[in-house]
Amino acid sequence: MNLILKFLVQAINTVDGRRNSAQFYIDAATMYGIEKAEKKMNRKVLKNRKTVSLADDEEWNGDCEWIYLTE
């Protein structure tokens, strides 16, 4: 039964029997997957940043580039 429901949602793109009524759910699941992957990747980056010690006049910006505050 579960397999039949997955087929209906994906192949026919339906939740309630009308064509293209599942597009919202498919888009939401895709966005959720992307956000989950980004959070996982961000956790790894933040963990690596904690191991690196910076000088007093340096800090991380969003793109992982060095910023010199004395300039």
Convert the pLDDT of each residue in 10-29 to its tens digit: 788 877 878 888 888 888 88
Tell me the domain boundaries of the chain.
2-68
Q: Tell me the pLDDT band of 59, cut-offs 50, 70 and 90.
A: low
What number is the average pLDDT over the span 26-44?
A: 87
What number is the average pLDDT over the span 46-61?
A: 70
Mean pLDDT, the chain, rounded, equals 77
Tokens 């007093």 belong to 56
* 27-59 residues labelled b (16+ CB within 10 A) or e (exposed): eeeeeeeeeeeeeeeeeeeeeeeeeeeeeeeee
The structure's pTM equals 0.49
